[in-house]
Structure 1
């Protein structure tokens, strides 16, 4: 499975063979949905919390005697029936939204998305994805020359940890940078175009062969 490699001026400079296991997998929408749902749920931060009747302060004394007043019976002013009382079935910080998915399924979903992206011509390889300085202007110029319209929504994958690329990409809307080992289903689905440094493919293959 071969793919063309381009330079930063969008000129074809060669080809690279892609690993069939990673870029030749079948499209599995159900598995991708499961992996995506698990990733989003596991990154969820639970902040909402409503106090129940046992957590609301006050209300220890019975508001009035049980019989003889003509009014309805009540045992505490912190009952959910009262203004300022506890909340029935409200959200709590203890609620757990995490979902489990095993490593093989997560990898299979990732390979499925990468293969679909390749089939739909949404993956591009550059011979070099490196910046000498962490300047947004330099990255914007490079992307404009090498990607053109693709830069509107692009995930950049340099071969190794490149702080200059990461820092420069933060200021460009619709652009994000990730290392090959940090690729995930959510970001692959979020960004339309995936731009690899050609050496990142070998890093990706080595990483997933080591985690089999």
Structure 2
């Protein structure tokens, strides 16, 4: 079982914690990680882009000139695609980009993402994370104690408004809950900061 250091909020190591091998010690599957990240980004797309066809643009109800005898190419409408201000022939229309993946694939990707953080020593486990009041300065101090100077994802076992609001204005720092943890957020942040209680909850849910 992988063993990582356990820290307190002052950045001092207070012990070690053993992580579940079936979640934090699996072989990293890059193919599955790629599939799940692409799926996540596709599902975030709004799909509201829209272009007007020749039936939707204004004007063009009359034939611009007679069919024969002018020496020019025959035209039926000044709003055909080849005309300036004409309709778009094959432009995008509103649609959904959503598609689903198997639950087993998503679960394997999450385990691979968590295991990659352990392999790269980018996981920081805290014995506790709590603040008396909403203070961004106090959260910055905690991160400085942990020597975190890059993008960081803070994972909480349950909603804590004080921690969430104290961290939300710090550039590159994101807070999330175990229940909303996703592969994209894990991979998109350099450091994975998780409390001991959150680790227990992750192991309970995904073991």
Give the Cα separation in 2 of the matches to 1:137 and 1:32.
Answer: 35
Structure 1's unaligned 5+ residue stretches are none
Deviation at 1:102, TM superposition (A): 1.4
Contact 2:152 2:190 in 1 (8 A): yes
Give the Cα separation in 1 of the matches to 2:158 and 2:125.
Answer: 15
Give the Cα separation in 1 of the matches to 2:92 and 2:142.
Answer: 48
1:94-119 deviations in Å (ceiling 9; x for gaps): 3x322321111011001001111101
Deviation at 1:14, TM superposition (A): 2.4
Match status 1:115 vs 2:154:
no
Give the Cα separation in 2 of the matches to 1:55 and 1:124.
Answer: 56
Give the Cα separation in 2 of the matches to 1:65 and 1:117.
Answer: 71
Q: What is residue 196 of structure 2 aligned with on the other side? A: 198
Q: Secondary structure at the match of 1:199?
A: helix
Give the Cα separation in 1 of the matches to 2:5 and 2:82.
Answer: 69
Deviation at 1:87, TM superposition (A): 1.0
Please report the RMSD computed on the Cα atoms of aligned residues, expressed in angstroms.
1.5
Deviation at 1:153, TM superposition (A): 1.8
1:187 to 179, 185, 188: 185
Contact 2:156 2:195 in 1 (8 A): yes
Give the Cα separation in 1 of the matches to 2:51 and 2:178.
Answer: 41
Q: Which moved more, 1:80-89 or 1:97-106?
A: 97-106
Contact 2:11 2:142 in 1 (8 A): no
Give the Cα separation in 1 of the matches to 2:34 and 2:152.
Answer: 21
Structure 2's unaligned 5+ residue stretches are none
Contact 1:134 1:164 in 2 (8 A): yes
Give the Cα separation in 2 of the matches to 1:132 and 1:207.
Answer: 29
Give the Cα separation in 2 of the matches to 1:159 and 1:14.
Answer: 20
| Corresponding residue pairs, total | 206
Q: Which moved more, 1:185-194 or 1:42-51?
A: 42-51
